[in-house]
Amino acid sequence: MDWGSPEFVIAIIALSTIGWVVNNWIRAKHGYELEDEWGGKTAPKDSGETQRLKAENAALHEKLDAMQDRMVNLERIVTDKGYTLSDEIEALRDRPSPRIGSGVPIDLNRKEQA
């Protein structure tokens, strides 16, 4: 094989061009900037579909943030001591009540002094 033959040089140029075209096709398919033959970059134009997806993505991020805030509040409530209040009330209901008259009498006719 003659490495300097015109067929070999043309084959190298053809493979390089095909590789460049495939590279740009893959980049365009996935939304990356395209590269021209001099190494310059061309940004893809935003289509209506891209704008819709960006808006939907932003809405989903806001919803996720709101759900995380709610989850933090629920975790705080569950780990708070006030959550055991219902358990303590139920425990008091199970205890026998004291005899009537054993408590401190309440004077309803007494006026508060300032």
Q: Averaged in consecutive runs of 10 residues, what is the pLDDT profile of the chain (114 residues)?
A: 81 92 85 72 72 92 94 81 69 65 61 59
Question: How many domains does the structure of the chain reveal?
Answer: 2
Task: Please indicate, yes or no, whether the overall pTM of this predicted structure exceeds 0.95.
Answer: no
pLDDT score of 1: 64
Q: pLDDT at position 27, please?
A: 82
The residues near 20 (Cβ < 8 Å, ≥ 6 apart) are 37
Q: Is 20 left (phi over 0), alpha (psi -120 to 50) or beta?
A: alpha
* Both tokens assigned to 13: 């140029």
20/30 same-domain check:
yes
**Residue whose entry in the numeric block shows the structure tokens 């970059």:** 41
Do 87 and 50 sit in the same domain of this protein? yes
What is the reported pLDDT for 13?
Answer: 93
Range of the domain at 19: 1-44
Shared domain for 2 and 36, answered yes or no, is yes
Q: Is the domain of 52 the same as that of 34? A: no
CA distances from 90 to 57, 83, 108 (A): 47, 13, 30
| 33 and 57 share one domain | no
pLDDT of residue 107: 65
Domain annotation covers residue 109: no
> Same domain for 50 and 90?
yes
